[in-house]
């Protein structure tokens, strides 16, 4: 065999798995048809956060007058793109450096399986084991006019040379809301059209309602329970809502209805699959014993950090160690203003599973650090099962949510109780002390909440 393991795909899951395999003494190659880092580093997680931070800076400038600071700004979209490209280039280069450091061969091109031990790129390569880490691709719904000029997907949304005067975003999921936040701050008039009747249905209604109120406060039009029927020439988006047909004109349409598993190149294997992607067990093994699959291609949770975690799991199992994936405490993050983050069960799910639950909340309006920052919008919510007071879920909306959620991740993973969270000393003034306060509220002994 040419290699012990060949990893198909150099995104966060693929390159992480390759590095761990090398550390475990395996001879490894990574096949990548584009740039190392995958969608996350090149078109997704990282570049969008550059733009999200730019949006945050603009909002900070606008709010500075509340602190007695009168400021103005001028937006240079070309320089913003250059900043994004510098960040991406540096991180992608860093992955390349790590490949060299760990003596991992990078094979450029699109891989195609010939059989369970052979893959073809520029030539044929053999390996004892394979990891399929080909990620996902943008899903384009069957909407008439979706291929018209001016209709873009998230892959191209950060390549625009000018800020749209008016942009229609189809889909109010994580991708759609993040771009709505970005383009609204950059100066676009934003219209969101979403099929579902509730924003962010994976979250409790109080979180979703707070975000909806915030969107409307920013003058972002939000049309829930609405379906796009077609897009006409001149970028006229025709949609139905409450049985009525309406039309909205714009200069850009962003299709952000989700992503689907990228399963190109595996046809020869005849793997067990469902409509979401490749089926795997808790060891990340497919129906063929020497072939593993991780990340978006499995049709599971589409997050870069989940793919990386699954890559580690697969690597250890290939190396002969017994390791199972535990996805009960996966943090989810929405980089809007305010941010949203959640982990574990929401309140509805917890009541369905445990019956009796305890809920604790703490508002940012009573949080000293948030008030000093002028960021009073939001709250922390903790969900615990009532028998042992074990924490089973946490939801946060507010500044810093994507950072402080990890206390909830640890609490759920290690089965902390409300008492343990409440008893842990939290620094003051900080955003994270809201978690202690919410735990005390769930126990019925709040200190700083009326």
Q: Which of 53, 223, 305, 428 is labelled catalytic? A: 428
Long-range contacts, 67-73 (Cβ 8 Å, 24+):
67/374
* Torsion sign (Cα): 218, 138, 110, 323: positive
Identify any residues that bridge with 127 across adjacent strands, giving them in sequence order. 3
Partners of 241 in the β-ladder: 226, 244
Q: What is the CA radius of gyration of the chain?
A: 23
Which of these, 310, 405, 296, 294, lies nearest to 44 by C-alpha position? 296
Measured CA distances, 288 to 29, 285, 293 (Å) = 20, 7, 10
d(C-alpha 38, C-alpha 44), whole Å: 9
- Please list, in sequence order, all residues whose beta carbon lies within 8 angstroms of the beta carbon of residue 236, skipping any fewer than 6 positions away: 247, 248, 249
**Which pair of structure tokens corresponds to residue 300?**
């599971």
Q: Quote the tokens at residue 48.
A: 């969008």
Residues 6+ apart with CB under 8 A from 303: 330, 332
Residue 428 a catalytic site member? yes
- Which one, of 97, 99, 107, lies nearest residue 22 by Cα? 99
β-strand pairing of 259-261 with 136-138: antiparallel
Q: Going along 345-388, which residue ranges are E strands?
A: 357-363, 379-385
Token representation of residue 442: 């769930």
DSSP state of 296: G
What backbone phi and psi angles, to 5 degrees, belong to 196?
-75, 155
Q: Which helix (H) or strand (E) holds 396?
A: strand 391-397
Which residues face 390 on adjacent strands? 417
Q: How far apart are CA 229 and CA 250, in angstroms?
A: 16
Residue 13 CA to residue 310 CA, distance in Å, equals 7
- The secondary element (H helix, E strand) that includes residue 203 is none
DSSP assignment, residue 109? S
Contact (Cβ atoms closer than 8 angstroms) between residue 139 and residue 258:
yes
What is the set of active-site residues? 428
């Amino acid at each position: 065999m040419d290699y012990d393991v060949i990893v198909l795909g150099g995104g966060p899951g693929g390159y992480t798995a390759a590095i761990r395999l090398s550390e475990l003494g395996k001879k490894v190659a990574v096949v990548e048809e584009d740039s190392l880092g995958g969608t996350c580093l090149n078109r997704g997680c990282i570049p969008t956060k550059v733009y999200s931070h730019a949006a945050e800076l603009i909002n900070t400038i606008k709010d500075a007058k509340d602190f007695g600071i009168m400021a103005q700004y001028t937006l240079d979209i070309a320089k913003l793109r250059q900043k994004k490209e510098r960040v991406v280039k540096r991180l992608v280069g860093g992955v390349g450096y790590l490949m060299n450091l760990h003596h991992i061969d990078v094979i450029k091109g699109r891989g195609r399986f010939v059989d369970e031990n052979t893959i073809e790129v520029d030539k044929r390569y053999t390996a004892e084991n394979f990891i399929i880490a080909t990620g996902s691709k943008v899903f384009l719904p069957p909407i008439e006019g979706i291929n018209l000029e001016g209709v873009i997907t998230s892959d191209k949304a950060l390549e625009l040379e000018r800020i749209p005067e008016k942009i229609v975003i189809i889909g109010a999921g994580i991708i759609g809301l993040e771009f709505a936040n970005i383009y609204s701050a950059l100066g676009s008039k934003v219209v969101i059209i979403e099929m579902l009747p509730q924003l962010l249905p994976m979250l409790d209604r109080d979180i979703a309602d707070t975000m909806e109120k915030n969107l409307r406060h920013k003058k972002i039009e939000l049309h829930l329970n609405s379906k796009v029927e077609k897009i006409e020439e001149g970028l006229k988006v025709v949609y139905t809502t409450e049985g009525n047909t309406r039309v909205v004109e714009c200069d850009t349409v962003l299709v952000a209805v989700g992503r689907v598993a990228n399963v190109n190149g595996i046809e020869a294997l005849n793997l067990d699959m469902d409509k979401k992607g490749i089926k795997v067990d808790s060891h990340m093994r497919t129906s063929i014993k020497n072939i593993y699959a991780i990340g978006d291609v499995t049709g599971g949770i589409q997050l870069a950090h989940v793919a990386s975690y699954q890559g580690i799991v697969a690597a250890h199992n290939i190396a002969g160690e017994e390791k199972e994936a535990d996805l009960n405490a996966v943090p989810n993050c929405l980089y809007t203003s305010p941010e949203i983050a959640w982990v574990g069960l929401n309140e509805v799910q917890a009541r369905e599973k445990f019956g009796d639950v305890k809920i604790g909340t703490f508002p940012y309006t009573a949080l000293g650090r948030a008030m000093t920052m002028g960021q009073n919008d939001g709250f922390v919510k903790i969900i615990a099962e009532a028998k042992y007071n074990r924490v089973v879920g946490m939801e946060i909306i507010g500044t810093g949510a994507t950072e402080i959620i990890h206390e909830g991740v640890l609490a759920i993973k290690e089965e902390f109780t409300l008492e343990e969270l409440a008893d842990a000393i939290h620094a003051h003034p900080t955003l994270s002390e809201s978690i202690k306060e919410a735990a005390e509220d769930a126990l019925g002994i709040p200190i700083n909440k009326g």
